[in-house]
Amino acid sequence: MDFDWTEEQRDFRATVKAFLDDNLPPDWEELAHGPGSEVQTTFSKQFCGALAQAGLLVPHWPVRWGGRDADPWASFILAEEMWAAGEPRGGQYMNVNWIGPTLMRFGSEEQQSRYIPPMAQGQTLWCQGFSEPEAGSDLASLRTRAEQHGDTYRINGQKIWTSYAGHADTCFLLARTSQGKGGISIFLLPMDTPGITVRQIPSIIGEGDIHEVFFDDVEVPATAMLGEEGQAWTIVREALSLERVGIPRFALASRMLHRAVAHLKRDNRFGHSAMDQAARAHAACEAARLGSYNIIDQRCHGQIPGPEASAARFGTVNAERLVAEFVVEHVPEALAGGDAMLQAHHQRAIVAGIASGAAEIQLNLIATELLELPREPR
pLDDT tens digits, residue range 299-329? 888 887 777 777 888 888 899 999 999 999 9
CATH class of 127-230: mainly beta
CB atoms within 10 A of CB 212: 18
Domains 127-230 and 248-370 share a fold: no
Q: What pLDDT shows up at residue 65?
A: 95
Q: For residue 343, what is the enclosing H or E element?
A: helix 340-350
**In the predicted model, is pLDDT for residue 365 greater than 90?**
no
What are the start-end ranges of the E strands in the chain? 126-129, 145-149, 152-159, 170-176, 184-190, 196-200, 211-221, 225-226
Lowest-pLDDT range of 65-79, 127-141, 172-186: 127-141
**In the predicted model, is pLDDT for residue 333 greater than 80?**
yes
**In the predicted model, is pLDDT for residue 66 greater than 90?**
yes
Q: What pLDDT shows up at residue 251?
A: 95
**In the predicted model, is pLDDT for residue 378 greater than 70?**
no
Q: What pLDDT shows up at residue 344?
A: 84
* Band of pLDDT at residue 207, cut at 50, 70 and 90: low
Q: Rounded to an integer, what is the distance from CA 236 to the centroid of its chain?
A: 14
Lowest-pLDDT range of 199-203, 355-359, 373-377: 355-359
Q: What is the mean pLDDT of the chain?
A: 89
Burial of residue 60 (number of CB atoms within 10 Å: 0-12, 13-18, 19+) = buried
Lowest-pLDDT range of 114-118, 199-203, 272-276, 305-309: 305-309
Q: What pLDDT shows up at residue 111?
A: 98
What is the pTM assigned to this prediction? 0.87
Q: What pLDDT shows up at residue 277?
A: 97
Q: What pLDDT shows up at residue 302?
A: 82
Q: What pLDDT shows up at residue 188?
A: 98
Lowest-pLDDT range of 183-192, 227-236, 253-262, 341-350: 341-350
- Any residues with CB less than 8 A from the CB of 119 and at least 6 apart, and which? 58, 92, 95, 96, 99, 100, 126
pLDDT tens digits, residue range 101-112? 999 999 999 999
User: Among the CATH numbers 3.30.70.20, 1.10.275.10, 1.10.540.10, 3.30.1340.10, which is that of 7-124?
Assistant: 1.10.540.10
pLDDT tens digits, residue range 146-187? 999 999 999 999 999 898 999 999 999 999 999 877 899 999
**Beta carbons of 335 and 346 less than 8 angstroms apart:** yes
pLDDT tens digits, residue range 8-38? 999 999 999 999 999 999 988 887 666 667 8
Q: What pLDDT shows up at residue 360?
A: 66
Enumerate the domain spans of the chain. Answer: 7-124, 127-230, 248-370
If you average pLDDT over each of 134-138, 285-289, 307-311, 344-348, which comes out highest? 285-289
Lowest-pLDDT range of 54-68, 97-111, 114-128, 244-258: 244-258
Q: Report the distance separating Cα 119 and Cα 96, nearest Å.
A: 7
Q: What pLDDT shows up at residue 348?
A: 79
Q: Report the distance separating Cα 93 and Cα 88, nearest Å.
A: 9
Q: What pLDDT shows up at residue 299?
A: 85
Q: Which fold has domain 248-370?
A: Butyryl-CoA Dehydrogenase, subunit A; domain 3 (1.20.140)
